[in-house]
Amino acid sequence: MQTPAWPKVTSVTRRSFMARGLSGAAGLMLADWLASRARGREVAASPPVAGTGKAKAVIQVWLWGGPSHLDTFDPKPAAGRDYCGPYTKPLAANVAGIEICQMLPLLAKMADKYALLRGMTHGSNGHETAAYLVQAGRKSGGELVFPGIGAVVSYFKGYNGGYKGMLPPYITVTKPQGRFSEAGFLASKYKPFSTGGDPAKEPFAVEGIVAENVTDERQKDRRALLGEVDRLGKELPDHPLVKAMDACREQAYAMILGDAGKAFALHEEKNEVRDRYGRTSFGQSCLLARRLVARGVPFVTINYGGWDTHKQHFQAMNSRLPQLDKALSSLLQDLSDQGLLDSTIVWVSGEFGRTPKVQWEAPWNGGRGHYGKAFSALVAGGGFRGGTVVGKTDERGETVIERPIYPWDLLGSMYALLGIDAKAALPTPQGGKVPVSPFAANEIPPKETGGPLKEIM
């Protein structure tokens, strides 16, 4: 009986073994990372259309839950207690003819820097549907889940638009907005980077960048130790996968230890500046947003919740409104003083307003429900002209009676100021393309639009 021939054994050097090992577990991780980069390049293969708009960045102050328009930017003192509650003395702003809630005295002194949109409307009273309408500027339903404006700006102004910054082009402070998928059908790379943590605490622990109880010196020691034990990198310094891994690691350390990470170092600001914004999570979030756009980040969302006040509405507003007043007024003033307001859109809104009539009865005890029929927003900078009111509601704030403004009207106006063409194409997962604006796709009937905000552009 003939003995079977064994496979020929060849000598394997340590170097070749390591090279082959790259196709193992480490290789799989690298392959996945490289594949994600490749997918980004595939999207960029058809360059997006982005012009040179006046606006370079957007700071979105997202008042999650839906703020009352009567208790912020569209007061109705003559409507009586059942509508305005205790807020019966609105403040005259520094622009003739404009009044805002008595709880916003600092903002009242700078109305020349912003425009009030009192004609906002879409009719939806559900958080999810309304958030999608306001964020994506699209009606719900259909086969596609469209991206929100932050992801769209990230696509055109960020990864595919020549953005060279080390920081992610789309950042939310401190957590995702939720209620809808911010990136929609776009690749996951267009999702926002969420900082986590609390910017009012020391240190501000930014997830993946700043760790509590880990100093910069300790991070540097860890980096040195990693370099000492990195046998793979020493044996195969010229291997393309090793080079890719090294580049990724260096980028991460640049975020942690370099100038990019210093954007989150709020302790570098003077105490009087931090005090002016307010030593609250929201106040310090606004300060952080100013620091981020100063470093070139195209889109920053401040997710400021607590506005879904079905019960004891006015007790909540007595806390929320002073925080909003202090932080937002400081943000607008600092952007103006630093020459950033002309190129930065500040957009303040929730997904809808709240019922104009107060629900005094139990169990609401002075609450307000969801209300998408009429609400308000504030916009400033980036080409929007301040000292102006657009739209009007009736004497009780229940119906828009002049110049309705739909979400697609507002978002389309911001895209125009950002230099993003309404007809520019977004790639779908099925390999197709859809325009940025629903108007370019003939999705919006004439009766459901008030048109772009030419009054303030």
Q: What is the mean pLDDT of the chain?
A: 84
Choose the weakest-confidence range: 50-54, 63-67, 295-299, 382-386.
50-54
The pLDDT assigned to 188 comes to: 86
Helices then strands, counting H and E runs in the chain, come out as 13, 16
Q: Provide the 8-state DSSP code for 45.
A: T
**Quick check: helix, strand or coil at residue 120?**
strand
Q: What is the DSSP string of 372-428?
A: -SSEEEEEEBTTB-SSEEE-EE-TTSSSEEE--B-HHHHHHHHHHHHTB-TT-EEE-
* pLDDT, tens digit (0-9, with 9 covering 90-100), for 104-156: 999 999 999 999 999 999 999 999 999 999 999 999 888 899 999 999 999 99
Which residues on adjacent β-strands are paired with residue 359?
Answer: 367
pLDDT at 26 over 60: no
Using alpha carbons, select from 71, 97, 73, 106 the residue that is nearest to residue 86.
Answer: 71
Q: Is the pLDDT of residue 28 over 90?
A: no
| Cβ neighbours of residue 412 closer than 8 Å, sequence gap 6 or more | 137, 422, 437, 439, 452
Most confident stretch, 35-49, 217-231, 263-277: 263-277
Helix (H, G, I), strand (E, B) or coil at 266: helix
Instruction: Answer whether the bond into residue 203 is a cis peptide, omega within 30°.
Output: yes
Which pLDDT does position 165 carry in this prediction?
81
As a 3-state breakdown, the chain gives helix, strand, coil percent values, each rounded to 5, of 40, 15, 45
CB 193, CB 172: distance < 8 Å: yes
Q: What is the pLDDT of residues 347-368, one digit of tens each?
A: 999 999 999 999 999 999 999 9
The more confidently predicted of residues 11 and 374 is 374
Looking at per-residue pLDDT, the higher value among 170 and 248 belongs to 170
Contacts for 131 with CB less than 8 Å, ≥ 6 apart: 177, 179, 180, 351
Residue with tokens 């859809």: 434
What's the predicted TM-score (pTM) here? 0.83
Average pLDDT over residues 321-341: 98
| pLDDT-above-70 percentage for the chain | 77
pLDDT for 242 equals 54
285, pLDDT greater than 60: yes
Q: pLDDT exceeding 90 applies to what percent of the chain?
A: 65
- Helices (H), ranges, 22-68: 25-44
Does 18 have pLDDT greater than 80?
no
